[in-house]
Amino acid sequence: MTPTQNHNNILAQRIKEKALELHFDAIGFAPAQKVNEAHQKHLDHWLKNDYHGQMHYMANHHDKRNDPTVLVPGAKTVICLAMNYHLEDYQHPEAHYKISQYAAGVDYHHTLKKKLYALLEFIREQTTTESARVFTDSAPVLERYWAQQSGLGAAGKNSCLILPRRGSYFFLAEIILDVELPVDPPFGKDLCGKCTRCIEACPTQAITAPHNIDAKRCISYLTIELKEPIPDGFADKTNDYIFGCDICQQVCPHNIRFATPSSEPDFKPLEAVASFSKSQWEAMDKSTFRKSFLKKGSPLARVKFEKLKNNISL
């Protein structure tokens, strides 16, 4: 091993240790190179069939989405990270209306980016990096692809990334930078086998085939991304979810066996999410929505008050 290789190995280990100190649960490194042809074809097919619905941003920046060196000039390494957000019994017993686990606390974008910038600052203290960016679900980055390439886990048939012996209740994040670090082997194991529980459990049949989601049928899309009221054909199939959906993850054997509650304080449920009963959700007015969610930095602020009330009224 050359002195340079030894230095890079030590640096990579320090970065991983720092990530764990920041409450990330997993970290891996992948080479910053063009996305493989099979994955590109899968994305092209998904877009061509209009499975993305009104999420028009998914069809934008095709070159950046398929090549991190276009997104971050000079990029050599994609650092992939995961953070647990799993919660148990986080809503009032008589809430009736359901909020997806990931949206119970404050907006995860802010929490993860704060930690990503702290990790990047640590890296800059150890290296001479000149080109680096942080990402978490807000840029043309194929997060699950890179998580698999960096050895974190594999996508389930519901398309959620599964971490072995941990489950899929994880936020993903990345740092793409111009420093060459020793990479981890890609995760090559199929974690689903013959299991089809997620496909069978979906009330709207949004999982049209293993690893293929028709977003236009997905409850998360219908309650958040779709700007119009939920169509009549799906109005009685939301299973009382009014923001997001966890059904396909709840039935996953990996989550049933291995999921553990998150220790991140920011992901604890906001007071309104934890305390609202059915009648309080139904009586909520604009003022209450603003005080309970908008001013608290809740993900629910993403949808307008009118959209959330429409979801409740179904």
Active site residues: 137
Question: In degrees to the nearest 10, what's the CA dihedral of 103, 106, 109, 111?
Answer: -130
Please tell me the distance from the alpha carbon of residue 127 to that of residue 104, in angstroms, as a whole number: 37
Residue 88: alpha-carbon gap to chain centroid: 18
Please tell me the distance from the alpha carbon of residue 22 to that of residue 143, in angstroms, as a whole number: 20
The amino acid sitting at 123 is I
On the 0-12 / 13-18 / 19+ scale of CB atoms within 10 A, 291 is exposed
On the 0-12 / 13-18 / 19+ scale of CB atoms within 10 A, 270 is buried
Please tell me the distance from the alpha carbon of residue 187 to that of residue 205, in angstroms, as a whole number: 28
Please tell me the distance from the alpha carbon of residue 214 to that of residue 141, in angstroms, as a whole number: 20
**What is the 8-class DSSP label of residue 266?**
G
Cα distances from 44 to residues 52, 59, 206, in angstroms, run 11, 9, 18
Please tell me the distance from the alpha carbon of residue 65 to that of residue 62, in angstroms, as a whole number: 5
Determine contact, residues 14/6, Cβ cutoff 8 Å.
Answer: no
Helix (H) or strand (E) holding 297: none
